[in-house]
Chain A
Amino acid sequence: MATILGRATEIGGVSRAARRSYSWVREIPLVPLLLVTVLVLVAVLAPVLAPHSHLDPVKPTPGQCQAKYGMADCPYVDNMPPFWFSQGTFATPLGTDYLGRDLLSRLMYGARISLVVALTGTLFAGAIGTLLGVLAGYMGKWWDQIIMRVTDAWLTLPSLVFAILLSSVRGPGLWNIVLILALVFWSRYSRAVRGEVLALREREFVRLAEINGVGKLKIIRRHLIPNVMNTVMVLFSLQVGVAVIIEASLSFLGVGVPPPEPSWGLMMAQERESLMQGKWWLAVFPGICITMLVLSANMLGDWLRVRLDPQLRNR
């Protein structure tokens, strides 16, 4: 019998490797991806893109001062409407707020805050939660009991109320908010990851590593964590939206990022009355930004979940 070993290389020849298909690229949801990309770019390039300062009022032209106050000179022109209104101008396309600051610039800088806070907060939450979930799921026994009871208890805390509590303890500030978000949300990850790990633990490749005497830490690092990344990534993208809203809510309630930093939520809070007075743009545009970011993050997260779920098992 001609040795299978000699002839065998042709058996391997028809490997799938040569036919890696990138057809999934066609199915990426373009609109959310575009939105998120735009928002990220705007946030990153805010210092370059913003037409005016986000903190100081816009220096008005004499004509504007005349029109608004009947004076030749004024420090700022407040509450100017967007450019498509008669009193609006292209210099401040979306209008100005009660202190004469350009809304568009503030929105751009606000993107930074929302994205930084939401992304890093969720990232830390994910790191903590994943680690604890893996330990609970894999080490079992006491690890599992303690971590899961803490997780369960943590999950019962209403996130917003808890966030407010923490914020009153820590005080205002950007990085405090990030910390708060991490503390509030880690438990969602640990629960999901633990479930995944419980299933993974029984899979043969893990059993095999154990039989082979591979150390527990190495198994966690090489076999478990890479295989829970799918779940974690999906959770992450879905949580980002929640984090944005929590941050906005905290700022809205006055316990988040302190003024004058232009957090979108803070902007909405400060302009509550303006909304009722008919100057809707001051509250609506930040709201639209929040909505767009959260919707896009959710849609991408959803697509990611569907895409990653069968785990490339379709051969």
Chain B
Amino acid sequence: MPPLLRVDDLRAYYFGFRGTRVVKAIDGVSFSVEAGETFGLVGESGCGKTSTCHAIVRLLPPSARIVSGRIELEGEDLLGKSQTEMRQIRGRRIATILQDPMASLDPLFSIYDQVAEPAYYHRAFRGRRLRQRVKELLSAVRIPSPERRMKDLPHQMSGGMRQRIVGAIALAGGPQVIIADEPTTNLDVTIQLQYLNLLKDLQRASGVALIFVTHNLGIVAKMCDKVGVMYAGKIVEMQSVRGLFYNPRHPYTRALLDSIPKLGTKDPLYVIPGQPPDLSRLPAGCSFQPRCQSAMERCRVEEPSEQHLDDAATTRCWLPLHEATTRG
């Protein structure tokens, strides 16, 4: 059985200034997600995680081109589809939740109109059944008195509620995969907790696969089953969430974990030297090597290939090979 969603060695580049400047936004991303699973895509700004989301639903801007790779939904190739065919996929089989609810919601249309739209177009709900469905969805995302609030406009609701409406819209089309791109970044902490719990419950109830994109490792620890860490357009480490936190295999992951302040201790934070790279001028060899404490000669020359480690972990780093050979 093929996985629900599979991305295989995806590469997408932005071509600017009439082809003279190439930004390697996605440079070799592979992962797969099963139904009911939560996959976390972690990285800082500019690492390519948002571009990956856009690529999956084929909404990259015109200056970007998918150069190679495959994206398969239940075995179906998505890259070969036309935009008309993709419209049957977006909302209906893959839905998205974005960071800013005010950008996702149309200020001129009522909550009812916006939640009903996917149900209408993708699942052919009509009339009374449609109203019933909208009410169900609003209750599912825990909007109090849904009947009354259906008529409201987005600006009449708080930030947390708006984000839940966005969740309801995502569910309305009955998708198999939901891609959530930093949905809680603009929310207060306590509201964020409510929202994350809601997402988890919804996932358990509906069995959707959830791809959660974030820069916050705390969210990953709470929500995800499997995690991919992105850096400079590549997934540099992919593991189960436990594996990632207890045994990080890539120096970047380790550095990131060490640089985050942890509640209850004042241990000095590890400072990763240097800056995130410019994607149009990546260093030779490994993209992380200028900032890596364990960089070796090979790292400066040759870009690491994916190493499959014993416990279902993959990493793009020469270290494991090096350790294996020096040990053995």
Residues of A within 8 A of B (CB): 1, 4, 7, 10-11, 14, 19, 23, 26
List residues of chain B with CB within 8 A of the CB of A19. 278, 281
Q: How far is the CA of A121 from the CA of B21 in the complex (A)?
A: 42
Decide: A10 near B268, CB < 8 A? Known: A23-B17, A26-B17. no
User: Which 7 A-B pairs give the minimum distances between C-beta atoms?
Assistant: A1-B268, A14-B275, A23-B17, A4-B271, A10-B273, A14-B274, A11-B273
Contact residues of B between 1 and 51, Cβ < 8 Å to A: 17-18, 20-21
Nearest-neighbour CB distance to chain A for B282, whole angstroms, equals 13
Closest to B17 in A: A23
Q: How far is the CA of A297 from the CA of B68 in the complex (A)?
A: 45
Q: How far is the CA of A11 from the CA of B18 in the complex (A)?
A: 32
Closest to B290 in A: A14
Q: Can you list 18 A-B contacts (CB < 8 A)?
A: A1-B268, A4-B271, A7-B271, A7-B273, A10-B273, A10-B274, A11-B273, A11-B274, A11-B275, A14-B274, A14-B275, A19-B278, A19-B281, A23-B17, A23-B20, A23-B21, A26-B17, A26-B18
Residues of B contacting A: mostly: loop
Closest to A2 in B: B271
Contact residues of B between 235 and 293, Cβ < 8 Å to A: 268, 271, 273-275, 278, 281
Q: How far is the CA of A11 from the CA of B274 in the complex (A)?
A: 5
List residues of chain A with CB within 8 A of the CB of B278. 19
Nearest-neighbour CB distance to chain A for B225, whole angstroms, equals 35
Q: How far is the CA of A7 from the CA of B281 in the complex (A)?
A: 24
4 further interface pairs, Cβ-Cβ under 8 Å (given A10-B274, A11-B274, A26-B18): A1-B268, A10-B273, A14-B275, A23-B20
Nearest-neighbour CB distance to chain A for B292, whole angstroms, equals 14
List residues of chain B with CB within 8 A of the CB of A1. 268
Nearest-neighbour CB distance to chain A for B113, whole angstroms, equals 32
Question: How many pairs of residues, A versus B, come closer than 8 Å at their CB atoms?
Answer: 18
Q: How far is the CA of A57 from the CA of B21 in the complex (A)?
A: 59
Q: How far is the CA of A10 from the CA of B18 in the complex (A)?
A: 33
Nearest-neighbour CB distance to chain B for A91, whole angstroms, equals 47
Q: How far is the CA of A14 from the CA of B283 in the complex (A)?
A: 12
Q: How far is the CA of A238 from the CA of B10 in the complex (A)?
A: 46
List residues of chain A with CB within 8 A of the CB of B268. 1
List residues of chain A with CB within 8 A of the CB of B273. 7, 10-11
Closest to B267 in A: A1
Q: How far is the CA of A26 from the CA of B275 in the complex (A)?
A: 29
Nearest-neighbour CB distance to chain A for B50, whole angstroms, equals 16
List residues of chain A with CB within 8 A of the CB of B271. 4, 7
Q: How far is the CA of A11 from the CA of B273 in the complex (A)?
A: 6
Closest to B275 in A: A14
List residues of chain A with CB within 8 A of the CB of B18. 26
List residues of chain A with CB within 8 A of the CB of B21. 23
Nearest-neighbour CB distance to chain B for A315, whole angstroms, equals 9
Q: How far is the CA of A4 from the CA of B18 in the complex (A)?
A: 41
Q: How far is the CA of A19 from the CA of B20 in the complex (A)?
A: 15
Q: How far is the CA of A11 from the CA of B281 in the complex (A)?
A: 17
Q: How far is the CA of A10 from the CA of B272 in the complex (A)?
A: 11
Q: How far is the CA of A10 from the CA of B291 in the complex (A)?
A: 11
Q: How far is the CA of A4 from the CA of B275 in the complex (A)?
A: 14
Q: How far is the CA of A132 from the CA of B142 in the complex (A)?
A: 53
Nearest-neighbour CB distance to chain B for A21, whole angstroms, equals 9
List residues of chain B with CB within 8 A of the CB of A7. 271, 273
List residues of chain B with CB within 8 A of the CB of A14. 274-275
List residues of chain A with CB within 8 A of the CB of B281. 19
Nearest-neighbour CB distance to chain B for A136, whole angstroms, equals 30
List residues of chain A with CB within 8 A of the CB of B275. 11, 14
Nearest-neighbour CB distance to chain B for A280, whole angstroms, equals 42
Q: How far is the CA of A11 from the CA of B271 in the complex (A)?
A: 11
Q: How far is the CA of A26 from the CA of B18 in the complex (A)?
A: 10
Q: How far is the CA of A14 from the CA of B277 in the complex (A)?
A: 9
Closest to A16 in B: B278
Q: How far is the CA of A19 from the CA of B281 in the complex (A)?
A: 11
Nearest-neighbour CB distance to chain B for A28, whole angstroms, equals 14
Q: How far is the CA of A14 from the CA of B282 in the complex (A)?
A: 13
